[in-house]
């Protein structure tokens, strides 16, 4: 009897240990599964630095387009990206300070808006991917070996304008024009490139070009006064100083009954008569989509730098009325947008 009792106790003890082991194993497995699920749900948050040369409608539009392009690709601020934004306020040395700051912040990617910011970022790092936008000639600026295969840590989009076509548009709207004025900042490489193309295109159409250069927006009024009276129209390239002062440029021109043909949408919204050019918001969005490829692991050295996929002909009807100017029907019929206000 005693032997049977002891045997029963041993069996009960063994069963208890077995059940405890199963429970412990189940708890361990459950904790492991929860930890695994939490790891799966924890998504990397990318830190993105944005260096913008100056704030004006075109570059601001490019920045917002970039953010929206990233969101469209699945990268959203507050969820899986953190954005650090810095503006150089058109001060060239400040662009280098900003670039150095972003590198020290150990960002995963840098968006540079305009050539000075792009060049400073490229000077600051050869390792962190750099996305560019609002850069006219990345190769000439020393940012890439070619548009097709950058071969560096830089990729993105170029805002090279259809300058030749813009000068041809000017001549089509103003067939009697003989002299045109161009206002720009000679310290901006983008502007110099465009002006050289504009001069060649104007010469081919029998137009004489007068130039006026400015170092900052405070010099715009005097520069414009030196042009009006000599010219039949003003051409404004995609120049940051010009963009910041487009309303002042248009006012002087309108007072002298001189039409302004702009290089981008913001110029027309600021009062220029017409533009065949880039929508910087869409260009920025295009850049955001390219950036998403880099965040997913593609090498920027192998990603082509893209040009704008959306050129638009925009007419400012109110400006035409102020100038008592009739836009030729063939131009109106091609317009993508007519601004009435």
* pLDDT beyond 90 at 144: yes
Q: φ, ψ for residue 113 (rounded to 5)?
A: -115, 105
Per-residue model confidence as pLDDT tens digits over 192-235: 999 999 999 999 999 999 999 999 999 999 999 999 999 999 99
- What is 167-212 written as a DSSP string? HHHHHHH-TT--EEEEEE-TT-HHHHHHHHHHHHHHHHTT-EEEEE
User: Which pLDDT belongs to residue 8?
Assistant: 46
Mean pLDDT of 68-81: 97
Query: Measuring CA to CA, which residue among 152, 156, 133 is closest to residue 142?
Result: 152
- Going by their DSSP bridges, the two strands 46-52 and 81-87 should be labelled as parallel
Q: Answer whether 235's CB lies under 8 Å from 166's CB.
A: yes
DSSP-derived letter for residue 278 is: E
Mean pLDDT of 71-98: 97
Which helix or strand (DSSP H or E) is residue 155 part of?
strand 154-158
* pLDDT beyond 70 at 16: no
Mean pLDDT of 31-48: 61
3-state SS assignment for residue 275: strand
* pLDDT beyond 80 at 315: yes
Percentage of the chain lying above the pLDDT 90 cut: 84
- With a CB cutoff of 8 Å and minimum separation 6, the contacts of 187 are 92, 215
**Token pair for 296:** 């997913």
User: Which pLDDT belongs to residue 32?
Assistant: 44
* pLDDT beyond 90 at 310: no
**Token pair for 230:** 């000599």
Q: φ, ψ for residue 338 (rounded to 5)?
A: -120, 120
Q: Answer whether 326's CB lies under 8 Å from 320's CB.
A: yes
The reply to whether CATH 3.40.50.2300 applies to domain 46-159+280-302 is: yes
User: Which pLDDT belongs to residue 9?
Assistant: 44
User: Which pLDDT belongs to residue 42?
Assistant: 64
Q: How many CA atoms lie within 13 A of 39 on its CB side?
A: 6
Dist CA 252 CA 268 (whole Å): 15
User: Which pLDDT belongs to residue 311?
Assistant: 87
Mean pLDDT of 134-139: 96
* CA distance to 106, 168, 212, 333, per residue, from 163 (Å): 39, 9, 18, 21
Name which residue leads in pLDDT, 341 or 107. Answer: 107
| Residue extent(s) of CATH 3.40.50.2300 domains in the chain | 46-159+280-302, 163-278+311-339
pLDDT category of residue 309 using cuts at 50, 70 and 90: confident
Dist CA 82 CA 79 (whole Å): 8
**Region of poorest pLDDT, from 4-13, 61-70, 136-145, 293-302:** 4-13
Mean pLDDT of 107-131: 98
**Token pair for 37:** 């699920």
Q: φ, ψ for residue 70 (rounded to 5)?
A: -60, -45
Name which residue leads in pLDDT, 310 or 291. Answer: 291
* pLDDT beyond 50 at 329: yes
Per CATH, the number for 163-278+311-339 is 3.40.50.2300
**Token pair for 141:** 């600026």
Which helix or strand (DSSP H or E) is residue 120 part of?
helix 115-124
* pLDDT beyond 60 at 155: yes
Mean pLDDT of 242-270: 96
Dist CA 154 CA 130 (whole Å): 5
Look up the pTM and report it. Answer: 0.80
Question: Which parts of 217-307 are beta strand (E)?
Answer: 233-236, 260-264, 274-278
């Amino acid at each position: 009897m005693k032997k049977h009792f002891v045997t029963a106790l041993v069996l009960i003890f063994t069963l208890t240990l077995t059940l405890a082991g199963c429970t412990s194993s189940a708890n361990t497995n459950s904790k492991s599964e929860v930890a695994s699920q939490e790891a799966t749900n924890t998504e990397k948050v990318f830190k993105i630095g944005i260096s913008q040369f100056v704030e004006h409608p075109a570059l601001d539009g490019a920045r917002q387009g970039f953010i929206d392009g990233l969101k469209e690709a699945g990268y959203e601020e507050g969820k899986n990206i953190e954005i650090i934004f810095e503006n150089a306020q058109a001060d060239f040395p400040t662009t280098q300070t900003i670039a150095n700051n972003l590198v020290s912040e150990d960002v995963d990617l840098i968006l540079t808006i305009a050539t000075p910011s792009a060049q400073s970022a490229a000077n600051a790092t050869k390792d962190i991917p750099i996305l560019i936008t609002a850069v006219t000639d990345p190769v000439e600026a020393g940012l890439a070996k070619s548009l097709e295969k950058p071969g560096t840590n830089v990729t993105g989009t170029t805002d090279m304008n259809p300058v030749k076509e813009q000068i041809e548009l000017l001549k089509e709207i103003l067939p009697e024009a003989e002299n045109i004025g161009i206002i720009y900042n000679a310290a901006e490489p983008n502007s110099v490139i465009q002006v050289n193309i504009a001069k060649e295109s104007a010469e081919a159409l029998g137009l004489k070009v007068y130039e006026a250069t400015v170092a900052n927006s405070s010099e715009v009024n005097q520069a414009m006064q030196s042009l009006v009276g000599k010219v039949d129209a003003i051409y404004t390239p995609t120049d940051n100083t010009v963009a910041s002062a487009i309303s002042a440029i248009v006012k002087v021109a309108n007072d002298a009954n001189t039409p302004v043909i702009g290089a981008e949408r913001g110029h027309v919204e600021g009062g220029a008569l017409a533009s065949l050019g880039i929508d910087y918001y869409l260009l920025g969005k295009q850049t955001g989509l390219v950036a998403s490829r880099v965040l997913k692991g593609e090498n920027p050295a192998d990603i082509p730098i893209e040009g704008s996929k959306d050129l638009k002909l925009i007419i400012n009807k109110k400006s035409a009325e102020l100038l008592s100017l009739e836009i030729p029907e063939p131009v109106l019929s091609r317009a993508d947008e007519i601004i009435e206000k």
